Structure 1
Amino acid sequence: MTSVRTWGKRPGTVVQEAVPFNAEAAAAALADEEITPVDVFYARNHGPIPDVAANDWRLVVDGLVDAELDLSLDRLTSEFAEHEVTATLQCAGNRRDEFVAIRPIPGEDPWGPGATSTARWHGARLADVLASAGVTDADDLHVEFTAPDVAADASPAQAYGSSIPLRKALSREVLLAWRMNDEPLPRLHGGPVRVVVPGFIGARSVKWVHRITVRDSPSDNYFQASAYRLLPADADPGAGAGEGIPLSSIGLNSAILCPADGAVLPPGPVTVSGYALGGDDREIARVDVSADGGATWRPAELSASRGPWAWRFWSFTVDLVDGTVDVVARAWDDRGGLQSESTAALWNPKGYANYSWPRRRIVVGRS
């Protein structure tokens, strides 16, 4: 509870680790508002939380640029136009607990569906900052982000870093954000300035960014070269640099937030609800819900679209009768893609990318 109070999180927040602070929203709290309040928004960290005063923050832009930049927060906010993007961030380990139920995943936090949240982000387009440094489009270049937080779980221990392809960095949606939900970006969530890379795993939206380097290859930082890589099911989870598939775009996903798995409810109507996320630039077109384990399906009601980078809430009313009800959801994107069915088929030794159909069992009985 101390860590929840320390970091201003709402009571009921599920703390995976106190140090470094890693916590996800309680499912019921996450379901309350489509724009996630800051005190509910999930937190993923690999080291101590830096305390960088706004007046002391500097950003260096270097590497394969025509003109290196050294920007203060005042220069960043005054010299570059401010833009707003509503975007969902999702941890690569979101819904890992369902993988753990199949087979243990030692050393990894058993995140539920609450390692996903949505905010309104305000900041400068990264493309504008790179243009000021003389960077133009090139298919074979990458943009590396470096932060001051030192991660003890890296091998060897090092400051957190990551990279994205330059073609993504030049997209209009990628921001150097200094505001979150109309307030100055909180320290816990990367303040004074963080990168927001909509459509990519949260690990690429580097917090407290203080250096951006344009380079001819992906970052060799541990969290790009070794961590956040999708390994084969039979691989050694401690595989070395370059093994597996580097994670970038989020996959089509959905989750059931309410009611909880195993909930005991009386007969009668109950609303089943959750979120769906298209991933990268795909939007959610439909969510189907089954109340009989997947034998039959009906379309859920969808909330209004907030754009290609944000989730959509969905809801469906089930008429409960005595016994057990197996609820399943599945999402479709606007290109006809369907969410993966089997959790077991997606299992991997790091527990990343659980994009399978979510399932909940409800027990129905009269009190």
Structure 2
Amino acid sequence: MKTSNRPDEWKIEQGLSGAVLPILDQTGPKTKVLDPQVFGDLTIDEEAIKSVGDREKLFTRERKGWVGFVEWENYPDKKAAAHKILTSQTFPPNPEFQFGPIPGTNPVLPGTHWKMWHHAIGGELTSVPDDSWATVLKEKHPDMLHLLQFPYNGEPPKRLVTDKEFTPNSLHFVRNHGGIPIINKEDFSFLMDGLVANPKSFTLDDLMDESKFPRMTKNVTIQCSGTRRIEQILKYPGQGDEVPQAPWAEGAIGTANYVGISLKKVIKACGGLIDGAKHLEFYGADTYFKDDKTMNYLVSVPWSKVKANEVMLAWEMNGEELPKIHGYPLRIVVFGYIGARSVKWLYRIKAIKEPSRAPVQSQEYLYFPQQVGKHNFKMTDGIQIQEMPVSSAIMSPWTKQVVIHKGKIRCKGWAYSGGGRWPERVELSNDGGFNWYTVPLDKLSKK
């Protein structure tokens, strides 16, 4: 039988194959079908890049024992040189909207742009993509679901998310914004400066000296604010950049026992805050890219959070040294806040008056009202996300899985209250939220 229908016509009409549909232009009195956008060959201005100088020298290793680390924040000339390199060549475009289907299982996105940017800068960043993936293969469980190869983003499969009360290091989710720097702890130190009375540098031995700083041990659940983003992507595609759009399922949450010290004690050792400081800005040694600009990973938390002893400097995770992929040798752990505030590979803390203006703090991880979209938003209208809201997910049975039962269904899942608070009650519904049943306390993990 002859038909004028396209292959998979039903899928196309039901919105299941949006990528094959033409774009309609309805700005005029008549609807027009736009031709597919075709991007030309990639270009590179060799002369402009040569004018920057020797990249191997310009972006050379700055600290002994710090592989893959480039200090950007104190060197505006270095940032300008990197910007010129990135704008003197073209890279494959991100799709404006992700109409194409995302793989349903273990969707490894390669991170093509991020690898190319690192290689374009060169110098100390050249080997970072390969070094980072080698670290993933060495430190993470073979069953991890790799969402993004570089910068690495990965989560455990559903069956292992709630398998144990404490998430094994090899199965703890990873949400990286840059490559993994390899830092020798004997060569490590970090700077506490800004609006403190006496700025100081501290080695790991300094921090571990219990005569100076009392030891802190805490069980902490960290969750990425993008947990379950795959559900959002399927409804509203969003931008195409692989890092902001990592297609998380329900596994971007993990609980671990951390050992370290309270940041409040370190600030006290520096003579306390001065001149109206109200926020602490954390500097990570990984390199982040935003709009053709390079920077270190920077975010901040308010002093009130630190004052409450809810921010720690951690060097141990589940009875072991911090894995490299989780921030070795020293990281920040913020209780109850989104994972983006728990900075890894810490090399500096700066006391400041206002929240950080760095892009990750001021242009990402923002709440907007429902009526705000790409057509009318302003970054300054967004509310910076700090505490996580109440959230939960069912790990078993799976979505749309058929269960044969005799009146009872065995379920397994997780519930998280955010803000560092313990969930007082967990309820479960089997009819879409019309009726709710309280989960018995003996079925919950211990407080």
TM-score using structure 1 length:
0.78
Partner of 1:342: none
Q: Which residue, 359, 362, 373 being the options, matches 1:235?
A: 373
Aligned to 2:304: 167
Q: Is the 1:256–1:275 Cα contact (8 Å) retained in structure 2?
A: yes
- Hey, what's the Cα distance between the residues in 2 that align with 1:66 and 1:8? 40
> Residue type matched to 1:160 in 2?
Y
- Comparing 131-140 with 216-225, greater Cα deviation is found at 131-140
Give the alignment partner of residue 287 of structure 1, picking from 420, 423, 426.
426
Q: Which residue identity is paired with 2:283?
A: T
**Other-structure match for 1:70:** 201
The residue that corresponds to 2:180 in the other structure is: 49
Q: 2:189, 2:350 → 1: CA distance? A: 14
Which structure shows the bigger proportion of residues in strand conformation? 1
Superposed counterparts of 1:1-367, under 5 Å? 6-78=137-209, 79-107=212-240, 108-136=245-273, 141-153=278-290, 156-233=293-370, 234-236=372-374, 241-268=379-406, 269-302=408-441, 303-306=444-447
Contact 1:154 1:223 in 2 (8 A): no
Which amino acid letter does the alignment assign opposite residue 261 of structure 1?
T
Kindly name which structure, 1 or 2, has the bigger radius of gyration based on alpha carbons. Answer: 2
The 1:139–1:271 alpha-carbon spacing in structure 2 relative to 1, beyond 3 Å, is farther
- In structure 2, relative to structure 1, the CA distance for the partners of 1:281 and 1:160 (3 Å cut) is same
Give the Cα–Cα distance (whole angstroms) in 1 for the partners of residues 162 and 275 of structure 2. Answer: 41
Percent of aligned positions that are identical: 33
Q: How far apart in 2 are the matches of 1:27 and 1:194?
A: 27
Q: What's the CA shift string for 1:17-48, capped at 9, x where partnerless? A: 00111001111101101110001100011111
For structure 1, the 5+ residue unaligned runs are 307-367
Structure 2 CA distance, aligned partners of 1:101 and 1:137? 48
Q: Structure 1 CA distance, aligned partners of 2:203 and 2:376?
A: 39
Deviations 1:80-110 (A, max 9, x none): 2211111110111011112123221233112
Distance 1:96 1:59 in 2: 34
Query: In 2, are the aligned partners of 1:137 and 1:170 still within 8 Å (CA)?
Result: no
Question: Using the alignment, how far apart are the partners of 2:429 and 2:269 within structure 1?
Answer: 52
Cα separation, 1, equivalents of 2:276 and 2:219:
27
Asked if structure 2 preserves the Cα contact closer than 8 Å seen for 1:231 and 1:237, the reply is no
* Structure 2: runs of 5 or more not aligned: 1-107, 109-132
Contact 1:138 1:167 in 2 (8 A): no
Alignment partners' CA distance in 2, 1:237 and 1:190: 37
Q: Please tell me the root mean square deviation across aligned C-alpha atoms, in Å.
A: 2.2
Q: Aligned letter for 1:123?
A: G
Structure showing greater relative contact order (alpha-carbon pairs closer than 8 Å, 6 or more residues apart): 1
Cα distance in structure 2, aligned partners of 1:137 and 1:85: 29
